[in-house]
Amino acid sequence: MAETLFEELKRYVGFGAEDEQSLRSLHEVAREEFPAIAEVFYDRILEHEGARSALAGESQVGHLKVTLRAWMEQLLRGPWDEDYYLLRCRIGRMHVRIALPQHYMFGAMNVLRQEFNRLIDERYNCQMEQLRAARVALGKILDLELAIMLHTYREDLLAQQARNERLATFGQLVGSIGHELRNPLGVIETSLFILKGRPMASDERATKHLGRIGEQVALANRIVTDLLDMIRDRPLKHEPLRLDEVWKDALTSVHTPAGVSIRAEGLEALPTLQGDPGQMRQVFVNLLENAVQAVGETGTVMLTASTGPDAVELVLEDSGPGVSDTIRRRIFEPLMTTKARGIGLGLPLVKRILERHGGSISYAPREGRGARFVLRLPSHPSSR
């Protein structure tokens, strides 16, 4: 069997059974210090404006400290297998998603290296052989951590650059085709209006087909509008934004089968934000239409809202089949769809609108069946 990348990296740095044993022994004396190390780690980050901004400020630090303690637990206890490698790869990819510069990653790892070496010096003060072995093992595992993160960082960054290039080409094509389609669609609409006023419109069969033509023209116009919205920067309106009112307005535009229940909790308690009500309405409409189509004729769609120190969080869940692993990583890419009649613009447009408001959206699988989308919007006005 071919050697995996992780096995190659371990062989390259000479990480073996003795190092594993040294790290497990270090874990026994260091685990009580994990909370204190996490405090030092994030205090250092919060002192640096650039790093603080990349990690979303102080509001996320409480959660991140818990995550760091779990990271240190696995760092020293293992097992250092392929599952360990895959978990560390996800961390590298997260750094790409939040646009964390690589030099912050090196600086952060140096903070941990200093704290662990200080702890090794204190606990193995009179045990020079164990001290040396612990320092060597620690150096190897932290070097492996950096190698894994840099490898996945590079892979994802290159993939992201390729996507951006495709989007730029896509934008140029859409802009040209979209504007060209407006003219024939306008002519069809005008002709349809004239035909509806003629005597033939009294024929039931003709009226039915004229109605179908009108529906399809409206659908084509909406597709063109969505395509153009993906490539142009419509100025954001900075108005008082009540998400409960926007949600209620969006519900009126979504056809819901009798067997589908749509509920919302916590929206009325949200503070008044600043943003563009029209574009936020489009966010809700797109997400609701996807959720309703996913659950079919019977099911539930649930929106839960909560408020944090500097942001509000909306969680939209449905009881549909969810999103497969193969689709999940590309779910917000334009033209990516699993629908028979969709063209894959709804979620990319949602992501674009939220990011222009200074917010974000992510997909978080539910236990069992269903999809879960997590939306975050800043409580303070966005300048974008």
* Pairing state between β 311-318 and 371-378: antiparallel
pLDDT at position 73:
93
Parts of the chain with a pLDDT under 70: 1, 49-61, 95-102, 156-157, 159-160, 162-164, 166-176, 178-179, 199-202, 226-234, 334-345, 368, 380-384
pLDDT at position 187:
82
pTM for the full predicted model? 0.51
pLDDT at position 384:
46
Q: Could you report the per-residue pLDDT of 276-304, keeping only the tens digit for each? A: 898 899 899 999 998 998 898 999 999 99
Q: Under a CB-based contact definition with an 8 Å cutoff, are residues 261 and 300 in contact? A: yes
Q: Could you report the per-residue pLDDT of 196-224, keeping only the tens digit for each? A: 777 655 677 788 888 888 888 887 877 77
Integer distance in angstroms from the first to the last C-alpha of the chain?
Answer: 52
pLDDT at position 209:
80
pLDDT at position 167:
63
pLDDT at position 57:
47
Q: Under a CB-based contact definition with an 8 Å cutoff, are residues 337 and 344 in contact? A: yes
pLDDT at position 282:
87
Rounded distance, CA 213 to CA 190, Å?
12
pLDDT at position 380:
65
